Amino acid sequence: MLSIIDAAIAMLQSRNFATHLAPQDALTRGTPKDRLEISKRFECLAMNLKQLSETLGLSQTTVSRALNGYPEVNEDTRRRVMEAARRHDYRPNTRAKSLATGRAMAIGHVIPISTKHEIVNPIFADFIAGAGETYTKMGYDMLLSVVPDADQARCYREMKAKRNVDGVILHGPHFDDSRIPLLTEIGLPFIVHGRSTNATLPYSWLDVNSRRAFERATGLLLDLGHRRIALLNGLEHMDFALRRRAGYSAALQGAGIEADPALMRSEEMTEGYGHRAAIQMLRADAPPTAFLTSSLIIALGVRRALEELGLKMGRDVSIVTHDDELSYLRNGEDIPIYTAVRSSVREAGRMAAEMLIRRITDPTLPHLDRLLEAELTIGQSTGPAPNRGARQGGAG
Amino acid sequence: MLSIIDAAIAMLQSRNFATHLAPQDALTRGTPKDRLEISKRFECLAMNLKQLSETLGLSQTTVSRALNGYPEVNEDTRRRVMEAARRHDYRPNTRAKSLATGRAMAIGHVIPISTKHEIVNPIFADFIAGAGETYTKMGYDMLLSVVPDADQARCYREMKAKRNVDGVILHGPHFDDSRIPLLTEIGLPFIVHGRSTNATLPYSWLDVNSRRAFERATGLLLDLGHRRIALLNGLEHMDFALRRRAGYSAALQGAGIEADPALMRSEEMTEGYGHRAAIQMLRADAPPTAFLTSSLIIALGVRRALEELGLKMGRDVSIVTHDDELSYLRNGEDIPIYTAVRSSVREAGRMAAEMLIRRITDPTLPHLDRLLEAELTIGQSTGPAPNRGARQGGAG
DNA sequence: CCCGACTCTCAAAGCGCTTTGATAGCGCGC
DNA sequence: GCGCGCTATCAAAGCGCTTTGAGAGTCGGG
């Protein structure tokens, strides 16, 4: 028995355990015990607490306390322990640690994939980069689950039952989102990136003031004399999209203009959508003189449409977009190309993660929330409405 | 003592543990034992093996074997157990399970952030979506670590020592990448998305044939009569960028054309880069008639440059791009806008994950590798070289 | 009617850590 | 010289699971 194990280890250590060596199927054929033995010996690079304490001639208790900063350890002893741990590059086994403490030291993110279009929300990468920074800083891990829209509830329940996360961040909340009562019910701490209008239960959230942002953006276009302003929104079961439309409508109403349904679209935010919608609207009888888009990617599509129709952006047609400041899709380098209401998704990720961890470490904390204001930056994509005089007539 | 716990639980169950109730600081002030007791009682929604086995009047052993498909369990018993597990929504505690089995059932992804530009590679979202699908299917979790470029080695060592992953996927390999010997040394199974020229150790990888793809793309432009073809590449310490340049150079050389350094750039792949480089090159003395770009995002920038200079894409200047088929940045909807060499990153994620899991479950397997061919699709961005007759003269 | 073979089930050990409750050592005052 | 309080350490229990090695029950052949 032992010789099989030895052979396997020899093979592993020879570092070419890649090349097919026929007789060494011990690793798969061996009993679970063998497997464990093999991995234990092979992984001996990594020390465990017992070994470390034996090396030091101390008990596991003392070593553990020394490393975790408990006060009842002699400072000399602590130093000695710390030093040895550093030297042997000792790291406690996460699995054992969390089993013992009841804390997983991990945060879950469920990334839903819209089954219709198979689209991953492009802001995830940046949000997660931001959250990840915080996690790394605070010693947490990040667990991702990519699931089809419909399986989300199951996924959350599973996370709870399997106990491999201490909390989750809820992405892309809908109007009256069912995940909020679900998470509250199963008792998994969470924070929402966004808000859910109509939610009855209290919850923690971090959001951008979309309504205000779009009200201001629309206001800017109105000030420039635009009267026919198109809104290319995201899918309107998404809460943020509703708020954006509300802001847009409020601004129009404030200027005494009735929103024209022909100028309002709501779709998955792709370049193609922006292009298609812009072409259609601009070829219609009463074309818009300005577009307000819910993402930079949509704006790219609109721009392509303008180009095809021989229209000049910022002169013939204006564009204002929401800009999530994605790292790989910058709105210009020094000077912004598009006039935009900006808000950093990455920074949102950092902050949301921090808030969640705060709530996890102290569950008595009241619900936290934070409303960020978007910043309005003027770029080259906006200008006065072209046919101002004609359209406004004596009214303005 | 107990009353404090009871109060805390009552509070938790009342579901408004959000609102500040002054005296209930038991949760933070209590001893660790209290905390555990509280969480145990509060989390009673989730059953553990012991409870389940007691409910059934069976031993933990039998229940465990029944659930894990061991043969020595009576089929009737198994059915009974399965049914009860389903009814109580029992899920084994991951932490306990992996402690006992020695398998973390998780794969790690280290996402390096280029410290200079703070850019997250935009392909991650899609790659991870693909890999995530596989993980979910195979019962694995995905662990993400976002770390600054320089900290990667530490991060990998930590993953190994903390034992919270069974393997990792290595992203964005460089020429002669030091992470390959590192991972081999510490004995963490891995698969590379891409390849690393000059690596001496054997390793498993999945890659696109970048060289061939760029050779074909360049060939297409040459066939169209283009002689001055610019290459807007990614950073050339990245292995894929080197291969792409090699393909480009080979094609030019095959046509007897010497590559002009003035027409070759290598930078972080952003829209701004594409725009800037195109403007500069097109304004120079001998402007290119075609651009070959390493990403769709760069191509967008080139297009914007063309627009600004009043040039028409596909007529005045041609563009061929590499296209990773990102879900949120499609190259047109029905008909492709850009002529491109395409390869789905998502599909690559799916396959890489599968290969890695295969190697994890059977370490005796030889190293796996897979070379995918990119597909060349003609779009509207390419056309014959404008001044063909003039340039080629009698030679063509 | 007994015994070996086979089927099904079990108690207990162990995974690597934290935490408890106990103990050894020590100086101090009475 | 005894008990007291204090500090620094320890052995052992427990987290929830898997796996071992053994035991109880059943059945059919001799």
The region of weakest confidence among A78-87, A182-191, B233-242, B325-334 is: B325-334
Check whether residue B73 has its CB closer than 7 Å to nucleic acid strand C. Answer: yes
pLDDT at A218 over 70: yes
User: What pTM, to 2 d.p., does this model score?
Assistant: 0.86
What DSSP element (H or E) covers A141?
Answer: strand A141-148
Burial class (CB in 10 A: 0-12, 13-18, 19+), A395: exposed
* Residue bearing the bigger pLDDT, B160 or A392: B160
Check whether residue B67 has its CB closer than 7 Å to nucleic acid strand D. Answer: yes
Q: What is the pLDDT of residue B389?
A: 45
Is any Cβ of chain B less than 8 angstroms from the Cβ of A17? yes
Selection from B360, B349, B363, B366 nearest residue B202 by Cα = B366
pLDDT digits (tens, 9 = 90+) for A325-364: 998 888 887 789 999 999 999 999 999 999 999 999 988 8
* Residue bearing the bigger pLDDT, A381 or A387: A381
- Which range scores top for mean pLDDT: A304-308, A320-324, B58-62, B81-85? A320-324
CB-CB under 8 Å, A119 with B164: no
Q: What is the pLDDT of residue A294?
A: 97
DSSP 8-state class, residue B289? S
What is the distance between the alpha carbons of residues A366 and A263, in angstroms, rounded to a whole number? Answer: 42
pLDDT at A32 over 70: no
Name every chain B residue with its beta carbon within 8 A of the beta carbon of A17. Answer: 363-364
- Cα angle vertex A202, ends A200, A208, to 5°? 100
Name every chain A residue with its beta carbon within 8 A of the beta carbon of B168. Answer: none
Partner residue opposite A146 with nearest CB, options B12, B128, B307: B128
What is chain A's percent helix, strand, coil content, to nearest 5? Answer: 45, 15, 35
**CA A93 / C1′ D5 distance in Å:** 38
pLDDT at A396 over 70: no
Q: Which residues of chain B have pLDDT under 50?
A: 1-38, 40-44, 388-396
CB-CB under 8 Å, A328 with B120: yes
pLDDT digits (tens, 9 = 90+) for A118-167: 778 889 889 999 999 999 999 999 999 999 888 999 999 999 999 999 99
DSSP string over A305-336: HHHHTTPPBTTTBEEEEEE---TTS-S-SSS-
Q: What is the pLDDT of residue B240?
A: 96
What is the distance between the alpha carbons of residues A9 and A44, in angstroms, rounded to a whole number? Answer: 11
Q: What is the pLDDT of residue B332?
A: 84
pLDDT at A117 over 90: no
Banded model confidence at residue A3, pLDDT cuts 50, 70, 90: very low
User: B residues 103-162 near A, CB within 8 Å?
Assistant: 104, 106, 111, 113, 117-122, 124-126, 128-129, 132-133, 135-136, 141-147, 157-158, 160-162
What angle separates helix B345-361 from helix B123-138, to the nearest 10 degrees? 40
Q: What is the pLDDT of residue B149?
A: 86
User: B residues 18-77 near A, CB within 8 Å?
Assistant: 18-21, 24-25, 27-28, 32, 35-36, 39, 42-43, 45-46
| Polymer length of chain B | 396
Check whether residue B66 has its CB closer than 7 Å to nucleic acid strand D. Answer: no
Say if CB B301 and CB B280 are below 8 A apart. no
- A88 vs A53, A83, B137, CA distance in Å? 12, 9, 38
Number of Cα atoms under 13 Å in the Cβ half of residue A186? 24
pLDDT digits (tens, 9 = 90+) for B175-232: 999 999 999 999 999 999 999 998 889 999 999 999 999 999 999 999 999 999 999 9
Q: How many CB atoms are closer than 10 A to CB A137?
A: 12
Q: What is the pLDDT of residue B241?
A: 97
**Structure-block tokens of residue B349:** 């994620």
pLDDT at A64 over 90: yes
pLDDT at A41 over 80: no
Check whether residue A40 has its CB closer than 7 Å to nucleic acid strand C. Answer: yes
Q: What is the pLDDT of residue A45?
A: 57
Instruction: Give the mean model confidence (pLDDT) for residues A291-308.
Output: 94
Amino acid of residue B296: L
- Cα angle vertex B80, ends B76, B86, to 5°? 145
In chain A, the domains with their CATH numbers are 40-80 (no CATH), 106-208+346-372 (3.40.50.2300), 210-343 (3.40.50.2300)
DSSP string over B324-380: ---TTS-S-SSS-SSEEEE--HHHHHHHHHHHHHHHHH-TTSPPPEEEEPPEEE--T
What's the gap in Å between the CA of A256 and the closest CA on chain B? 36
3-state secondary structure of B145: strand
**Structure-block tokens of residue B209:** 């044939």
Check whether residue A101 has its CB closer than 7 Å to nucleic acid strand C. Answer: yes
